[in-house]
Amino acid sequence: MSRRRVQPWWRAAAVSALVAVVGCTLALGVGAVLRRNELAAGDAQMDRRSTAAATAVKIETHRYIDTLRNVAAAVGAQQDLTAADFAAITTPLRAMALAGATSVTLVVPAGNREVARVQQSWRDRGLTGLVLRPHGSGDHAFSVLGTGLNATSSTVGLDMMQAAAPAAALAEARRSRQIAVSDTYHLIIDRSLPPERRQNSFALAAPVYQGAEQSFLGWMLLGVRGQDFMGAMLTAVGPGLRDLTLEADDADGLLVTMASVHHPEAGSADLRRTVEIPVANSTWALRLSADRRTLPGADTGQPLTVAAGGLVVTLLLTSLIWVLVTGRQRARSRVHAATSKLAAEQTAASRQAGLLRAVLDSISDGVGVIGPDGNFLLHNPAARGLLGQEEDAVGGTDSWQQHFGLYRADGVTAFPVEEMPLVRALGGESVDHVEMVVRNNTHPDGRVLSVSARPVDTSGGLRGAVAVFHDITDRKRVETELRGFAGVVAHDLKAPLTLVSAYGELVTEALDDLAAGAGAPTLEQARKGTAKVLHGAARMQRLITELLDYTAARDATLRVERLSMRALVDDVVVTRTDAPDHQAVSRPDVFVGPLPDVYADPVLLRQVIDNLVGNAIKYTPPGQPPRIDITARTDEDGGVRVRIADRGIGIPDGEHAAVFDSFHRASNGTAHPGTGLGLAICRRIVERHGGHIDAGPNPGGGTIFAFTLPGSVAYGPEPVEAPVLDAVPAS
């Protein structure tokens, strides 16, 4: 399954975008937080300033009220108030710089009918020129004594009831016995001024009670012009503020501006506050506005700087990451390309190595490579098997002879290290077909190897050596066998040939004598000579026949088919026992037990049984009838073991195995004719069928020969076509 690869460009873009988004978010977020803090700081500043301004207004107003309360108390304390007393009490007010205060006046009540009496009573107190000017026909309240403040003179004789605002304040003060503040109105004394100079004003009215009985005398009335009253103070408390407005109700209950300060240069009014200020029986409203930017800490520009800085840093960081990531991607793709190439080369190399290994593993010749230090770098399984040692030699080439058990071709002389093919090849020599015997625990009988070696460049110019080990054990055995074979054949043929030649000459001479008229003895001699010649020829013929059989037993193609062993044995027995040379007394007594059908080569198997039955008859003492038992036993694996037991002369102890070697004749059998090839033929045939043949003494005398045919028993009825079995190759 192939994993979908993310394009490096997209990955870099994704990482950079992520960093950009996070960076921008952080920068803007921090900027926003700082901005919020600034706004909060601005609000707090505005709150503080509003509170301070309101407090200042409140304090100033109370200063006026307290002053008027003191004056009212001082006036009430006079038993017979005169103009001089009044002036003495009120004149110090001028020094108090009560901004906006126009005059402080004593106002006394008078009913409509009491105007003349009241006027007279105050004239009696020394105010001789006093003229009271009643307004309307209701109750009146006349100013009788007055002191001008702030360079303003006071006017007496005015009826305060002519204006609703002061009239209401007087009534309230009298009712509550407390100082009352009037609604906003234009002072009566300002009515003569042009309208643009008239100010919204107010009056404070304090009730005056006289004597121990606290009889009501009238009111102390303090008129105050709004703008003058508050203008200076608002200017003092207002730095940083744009607009300050003091508002109060007028007589109609409408909120009107009593005083205001305006600083147009202070920017826009984006912060606004309204603070209510209780004044006596009324409540004023102080409205403030400011430009946030003028308040300290409220608009530092820091949030913008931080956000902009953050964005710039993010931009730089994003660029840096883009460069880094794409650079990393480029480096990675270069590494990937190099790795892919390397992997492809590695795959090709390992495929080559695998192929080489497979070839080396599959060939029967051993291959070994050594490095410059004489240690094996490589060897195939065949080399291991041929050298017969699982472990490598420790100690370099010097230890090889001991470790592997290496001998010269004679099998006894230790192989000199310096002559070993690999050692010579390590020295730069090419060596071919050096015979060497390996004998150790794995190969106790020794293996003959033909070794060829070449110098080879192992790695980095270092010289090593490679050797090929070819197992020639079988070839050498065949060669040895052939040599012995040739000797024996030469010897065995020479004897009958000499015999034939000698008797041939004898017969020739006898024939010459007969021709010359020799008598019967010479004829008899010629006849005997001819018989000997024929005997010699027969011996030679038998030897040649058996030599051919011996060769055929090894080389002939194995033709396996289903056959009845019983029929085959019966045929051999009949042929052998019906031979004309058997006298009646020595006719073989043969017992044949049950025999199975088998898969085998019928010609070769017949040869085995014929040889064994023939030997059993042949190697029986003269005059004694041969006794032969032929039986068979099958095993669970479908193999059969055939046993041929006789009561003959037996084989001397220690020679039971050797009789199967070619030309070997046991020491007690030489009186009987033979070549010593029969049992060797039997062994070859049995082994080519995958079986084994052996001989042993028959208890009570004689010999038991037994051979096996593994997995060859045929069960059930004979099929139409016999199965094809694997042929056992010739040894």
Site mask for ligand ADP (CB under 6 A), range 691-720, x = bound: ------------x-----------------
Binding range to ligand ADP, per CB under 6 A, among 146-154, 211-219, 391-399, 615-623 = 615-623
Nearest approach, Cβ of residue 671 and ligand ADP (Å): 9
Strand order in the sheet with 406-407: 376-379, 366-370, 463-471, 447-457, 431-438, 406-407
Residue 454 or 587 with smaller CB distance to ligand ADP = 587
Number of Cβ within 10 Å of residue 104's Cβ equals 29
Binding range to ligand ADP, per CB under 6 A, among 46-54, 142-150, 483-491, 610-618 = 610-618
Angstrom CA distances, 418 to 46, 367, 388, 403, 449, stand at 111, 20, 22, 16, 18
Distance, CA of 550 to CA of 554 (rounded, Å): 7
DSSP 673: -
Q: Is 674 in the site for ligand ADP (CB under 6 A)?
A: yes
Q: Transcribe 419-481 into DSSP letters.
A: GSHHHHHHTT--EEEEEEEE-SSS-TT-EEEEEEEEEEE-STT-EEEEEEEEE-HHHHHHHHH
Distance, CA of 334 to CA of 332 (rounded, Å): 5
Return the residue of 89, 220, 465, 649 that touches ligand ADP, per CB under 6 A.
649
Number of Cβ within 10 Å of residue 582's Cβ equals 15
- The number of residues that bind ligand ADP (CB under 6 A) is 22
Return the residue of 679, 693, 706, 714 that touches ligand ADP, per CB under 6 A.
679
Q: Is 666 in the site for ligand ADP (CB under 6 A)?
A: yes
Binding range to ligand ADP, per CB under 6 A, among 135-143, 386-394, 421-429, 676-684 = 676-684
Nearest approach, Cβ of residue 570 and ligand ADP (Å): 20
Nearest approach, Cβ of residue 694 and ligand ADP (Å): 12
Strands 627-634 and 589-592: parallel
Beta bridge pairs of residue 105: 146, 221
Residue 26 or 493 with smaller CB distance to ligand ADP = 493
Binding range to ligand ADP, per CB under 6 A, among 3-11, 412-420, 423-431, 661-669 = 661-669
Distance, CA of 629 to CA of 662 (rounded, Å): 26
Nearest approach, Cβ of residue 611 and ligand ADP (Å): 6
Binding range to ligand ADP, per CB under 6 A, among 275-283, 315-323, 345-353, 648-656 = 648-656
* Residue given tokens 């007028």 in the structure block: 250
Q: Is 310 in the site for ligand ADP (CB under 6 A)?
A: no
Nearest approach, Cβ of residue 652 and ligand ADP (Å): 9
Strands 597-600 and 561-564: antiparallel
Distance, CA of 359 to CA of 609 (rounded, Å): 44
Angstrom CA distances, 724 to 362, 508, 655, 721, stand at 27, 58, 37, 9
Q: Is 496 in the site for ligand ADP (CB under 6 A)?
A: no
Can you read off the two tokens belonging to residue 172? 């309230």
Can you read off the two tokens belonging to residue 414? 């230790």
Q: Is 132 in the site for ligand ADP (CB under 6 A)?
A: no
Q: Is 626 in the site for ligand ADP (CB under 6 A)?
A: no
Return the residue of 49, 606, 665, 689 that touches ligand ADP, per CB under 6 A.
665
Q: Is 45 in the site for ligand ADP (CB under 6 A)?
A: no
Nearest approach, Cβ of residue 669 and ligand ADP (Å): 2
Return the residue of 439, 619, 688, 706 that touches ligand ADP, per CB under 6 A.
619
Which residues neighbour 240 within 8 Å (Cβ) at sequence distance 6 or greater? Answer: 49, 266, 290, 294, 295, 296
Residue 98 or 612 with smaller CB distance to ligand ADP = 612
CB contact at 8 A, 52 and 237:
yes
Binding range to ligand ADP, per CB under 6 A, among 356-364, 470-478, 495-503, 672-680 = 672-680
> Rule CB under 6 A: which of 102-131 touch ligand ADP?
none
Q: Is 659 in the site for ligand ADP (CB under 6 A)?
A: yes
Binding range to ligand ADP, per CB under 6 A, among 60-68, 225-233, 520-528, 611-619 = 611-619
Distance, CA of 107 to CA of 216 (rounded, Å): 11
Distance, CA of 85 to CA of 89 (rounded, Å): 6
- Give kind and range of the element (H or E) at residue 319: helix 302-362
Pick the closest to residue 143 from 126, 160, 168, 129 (CA basis).
Answer: 160
Return the residue of 100, 109, 226, 669 that touches ligand ADP, per CB under 6 A.
669
Binding range to ligand ADP, per CB under 6 A, among 128-136, 165-173, 274-282, 670-678 = 670-678
Binding range to ligand ADP, per CB under 6 A, among 223-231, 299-307, 389-397, 668-676 = 668-676
CB contact at 8 A, 185 and 226:
no
Q: Is 650 in the site for ligand ADP (CB under 6 A)?
A: yes
Distance, CA of 74 to CA of 210 (rounded, Å): 10
Residue 332 or 618 with smaller CB distance to ligand ADP = 618
Site mask for ligand ADP (CB under 6 A), range 559-598, x = bound: ----------------------------------------
Q: Is 648 in the site for ligand ADP (CB under 6 A)?
A: yes
Q: Is 306 in the site for ligand ADP (CB under 6 A)?
A: no
* Residue given tokens 């004598």 in the structure block: 513
Nearest approach, Cβ of residue 662 and ligand ADP (Å): 8
Nearest approach, Cβ of residue 488 and ligand ADP (Å): 12
Give the binding site for ligand ADP (CB under 6 A): 611, 615-616, 619, 646, 648-651, 659, 664-666, 669, 674-680, 703
